[in-house]
């Protein structure tokens, strides 16, 4: 399928599809904790960003990595680009992307998506949020091609330098009940 065919076909489907190098992949539904974490993050970011002329979206907004491919649906995406703020179909210049990790998506979020996202010149931060334990990993653009890694866990204050925002990590996990593994 060409990109043009995908962009025409996908809005007519009942579910969302990501596009990678001519192939489409159905997006599966996430867990309730996955959704709650994304909404907690969105709820914290929205008032902070609206006063800065930026926008945050959750799950249903796709990002164009390049004109050739792929198109993904990040869990949380922030853009401050004037063209993106007027966009109707997809964002092209996100400043921050976050993915909520689950056992079934972690490999793709850390591998394929990680590689593509970091190739985007506009992207300043990539955030991985674990849905099964209190853990956040932030990758922040450094000098040249360098990315700096920041891990966060219980009790930490998460800093998002690209949008000048700090919050206690527990904010993401408000209302989340973790499964207790049987020993």
Residue 86 belongs to domain with CATH number? 3.90.1570.10
pLDDT for res 11: 87
Q: Residue 30's pLDDT band (boundaries 50, 70, 90)? A: confident
Cβ-based neighbour number of residue 132 at 10 Å:
16
Q: What is the average pLDDT across 42-61?
A: 93
Q: Would 10 be classed as within a structural domain?
A: no
Q: Does some domain include residue 60?
A: yes
Tally of structural domains, the chain? 1
Q: How far apart are CA 19 and CA 70, in angstroms?
A: 5
Chain position carrying tokens 């909404």:
39
Look at residue 8 and tell me if it is in a domain. no
The number of beta carbons lying within 10 Å of the beta carbon of residue 25 is: 13
Q: What is the mean pLDDT of the chain?
A: 91
pLDDT at position 183 is: 46
Q: Which domain does 40 fall in, by range?
A: 32-173
Question: Which residue do the tokens 């997809």 mark?
Answer: 90
- The pLDDT-based confidence of 181 (bands split at 50, 70, 90) is low
- On whether residue 179 sits in a domain, the answer given is no
Higher pLDDT, 145 or 72: 72
Query: What pLDDT digit, counting tens, does each position of 108-117 carry?
Result: 889 999 999 9
Is residue 132, in this structure, part of any structural domain at all?
yes
**Within a domain: 169:** yes
Is the bond preceding 70 in cis, omega lying within 30 degrees of 0? yes
User: CA gyration radius for the chain?
Assistant: 16
Task: Select from 128, 67, 64, 52 the least CA-distant residue to 97.
Answer: 128
pLDDT higher than 90, residue 160: yes
What is the tens place of the pLDDT at every residue in 121-132?
999 999 999 999
Q: Give the pLDDT confidence score for residue 29 in this predicted structure.
A: 67
Contact between 78 and 56 under an 8 Å Cβ cutoff? The reply is yes
Answer whether residue 17 is part of any domain: no
Residue 155 has pLDDT above 50, yes or no: yes
Which percentage of the chain shows pLDDT scores above 90? 67
Q: Per the domain annotation, does 38 fall within a domain?
A: yes
């Amino acid at each position: 399928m060409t990109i043009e065919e995908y962009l025409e076909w996908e809005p007519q489907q009942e579910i969302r599809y990501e596009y990678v190098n001519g192939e489409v992949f159905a997006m599966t539904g996430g867990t309730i904790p996955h959704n709650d974490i994304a909404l907690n993050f969105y709820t914290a970011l929205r008032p902070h960003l609206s006063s800065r002329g930026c926008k945050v979206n959750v799950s249903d907004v796709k990002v164009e990595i390049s004109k050739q491919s792929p198109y993904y649906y990040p869990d949380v995406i922030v853009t401050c680009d004037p063209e993106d703020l007027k966009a109707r179909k997809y964002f092209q210049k996100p400043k921050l992307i976050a993915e909520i990790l689950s056992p079934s998506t972690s490999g793709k979020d850390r591998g394929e998506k990680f590689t593509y996202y970091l190739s985007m010149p506009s992207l300043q931060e990539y955030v991985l949020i674990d849905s099964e334990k209190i853990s956040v990993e932030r990758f922040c653009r450094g000098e040249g091609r360098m990315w700096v890694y920041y891990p966060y866990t219980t009790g930490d204050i998460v800093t998002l330098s690209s949008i000048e925002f700090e919050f206690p990590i527990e904010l993401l996990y408000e209302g989340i009940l973790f499964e207790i593994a049987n020993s």
